[in-house]
């Protein structure tokens, strides 16, 4: 069997706040195979970005602490590495595209100087490139993300570009080195529909061309459907379901996945579902047992006591819900 590229095992993470610990991540299990495109969906505040930041080790470590679990990247535990080793990984192997391209770019430097910095401190530094050569490299990658007039873009400041262009610049920066894993954290959320569509196509093509693994986080479930092969559903810091992307959207099994997918307005216009009653739990005192039980339609006594493990439905499809326990109903 193929070894997974990234394996997150029983990750537990807390944030220290005034008055206690926010128990945000609760036994997160997550795998990405080499060259696999994985989707991750869930409501705001369910810990999607936190998990990704933990993988990149870019959480503010003063308030966040990982209490349990491991993050294996190519078989090595990222959590046990020293800073230099992590930097090496960030430099060469994992890149991240953030939700807000405006915040991801430094407003006081030109795009060109930011590119030069990245090239300088990435793996390309060995080649000792001159400024001109670095510029050529930047232009090459900017052309790949379909930006018109790359020379002008290198000279401009982020504020002089539109939102769509900024996101393209961020994608170009992420794809500069020959990476193995790209984490795209809601790459189109702050953009308009038509621009989002363009970014999505671009990302899809580039990823296919480079043949790398991708973790795509998005609220736009349609976007997930078009790009990914396998999708995880996350709720309140735990993975509740994983399946082939088509299965998640056609026959979701976990009550939360069902409610979430039903809440998306459809173009067919058959009305809008009632949404999900209640709200995401307070992480200071999360409910015992399954964290979804206060909002669940099928709640059973066991849900209030014990957190369900993953139950296998088929090869890929797994659900963390007591309804699917073998021998149960």
The footprint of other proteins (CB under 8 A) covers 43-44, 162, 164-165, 192-198, 200, 219-223, 225-226, 249-250, 259-276, 279
Q: Structure tokens of 275?
A: 């949404």
Beta carbon of residue 197, minimum distance to other proteins (angstroms, whole number): 3
Beta carbon of residue 224, minimum distance to other proteins (angstroms, whole number): 8
DSSP per residue, 198-256: HHHHHHHHHHHHHT-EEEEE-S-HHHHHHH-SEEEEEETTEEEEEEEHHHHHHS--SHH
Residue number with CB closer to other proteins (46 or 174): 46
Enumerate residues 6+ apart whose C-beta is below 8 A from 265. 272
User: 256 to each of 11, 275, 319, how far by Cα in Å?
Assistant: 21, 11, 11
Q: Structure tokens of 279?
A: 């709200």
Beta carbon of residue 43, minimum distance to other proteins (angstroms, whole number): 5
- Measured on CA atoms in the order 3, 177, 86, 95, is the torsion positive or negative? negative
Residue number with CB closer to other proteins (148 or 327): 148
Instruction: Provide the 10 A C-beta neighbour count for residue 288.
Output: 12
Residue number with CB closer to other proteins (55 or 170): 170
Residue number with CB closer to other proteins (4 or 42): 42
Beta carbon of residue 46, minimum distance to other proteins (angstroms, whole number): 10
d(CA 17, CA 292): 23
Beta carbon of residue 205, minimum distance to other proteins (angstroms, whole number): 12
Residue number with CB closer to other proteins (195 or 300): 195
Q: Structure tokens of 200?
A: 């999505």
Enumerate residues 6+ apart whose C-beta is below 8 A from 115. 134, 135, 137, 138, 154, 173, 176
Beta carbon of residue 53, minimum distance to other proteins (angstroms, whole number): 20
Is residue 235 within 8 A of residue 309, CB to CB? The reply is no
Beta carbon of residue 274, minimum distance to other proteins (angstroms, whole number): 6
Residue number with CB closer to other proteins (262 or 300): 262
Residue number with CB closer to other proteins (61 or 267): 267
Using DSSP's 3-state secondary structure scheme, residue 160 falls into: helix
DSSP per residue, 249-282: HHS--SHHHHHHHHTSPPTT--------SS-PPP
């Amino acid at each position: 069997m193929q070894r997974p590229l990234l394996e997150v095992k029983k990750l537990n993470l807390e944030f220290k706040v005034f008055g206690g610990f926010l128990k945000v991540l609760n036994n997160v299990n997550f795998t990405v195979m080499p060259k696999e495109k994985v989707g991750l969906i869930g409501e705001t505040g369910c810990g999607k970005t936190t998990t990704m930041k933990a993988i990149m080790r870019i959480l503010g470590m003063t308030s966040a602490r990982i209490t349990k679990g491991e993050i294996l990247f190519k078989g090595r535990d990222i959590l046990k590495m020293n800073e230099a080793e992590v930097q090496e990984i960030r430099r060469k192997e994992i890149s991240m595209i953030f939700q807000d391209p405006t915040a991801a770019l430094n407003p006081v430097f030109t795009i060109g100087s930011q590119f030069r910095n990245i090239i300088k401190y990435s793996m390309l530094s060995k080649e000792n490139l001159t400024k001109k050569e670095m510029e050529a490299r930047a232009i090459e990658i900017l052309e790949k993300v379909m930006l018109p007039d790359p020379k002008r873009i290198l000279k401009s400041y982020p504020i002089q570009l539109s939102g769509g262009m900024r996101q393209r610049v961020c994608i170009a920066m992420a794809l500069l080195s020959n990476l193995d894993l790209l984490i795209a954290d809601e790459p189109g959320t702050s953009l308009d529909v038509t621009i989002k569509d363009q970014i999505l196509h671009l990302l899809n093509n580039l990823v296919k061309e480079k043949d790398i693994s991708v973790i795509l986080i998005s609220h736009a479930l349609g976007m997930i459907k078009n790009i990914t092969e396998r999708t995880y559903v996350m709720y309140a810091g735990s993975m509740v379901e994983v399946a082939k992307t088509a299965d998640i959207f056609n026959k979701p099994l976990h009550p939360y996945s069902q409610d979430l997918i039903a809440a998306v307005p459809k173009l067919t216009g058959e009305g809008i579902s009632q949404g999900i009653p209640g709200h995401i739990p307070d992480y200071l005192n999360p409910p015992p047992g399954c964290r979804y039980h206060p909002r669940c339609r099928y709640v059973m006594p066991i849900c209030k006591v014990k957190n369900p493990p993953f139950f296998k439905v088929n090869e890929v499809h797994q659900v963390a819900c007591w309804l699917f326990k073998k021998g149960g109903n």
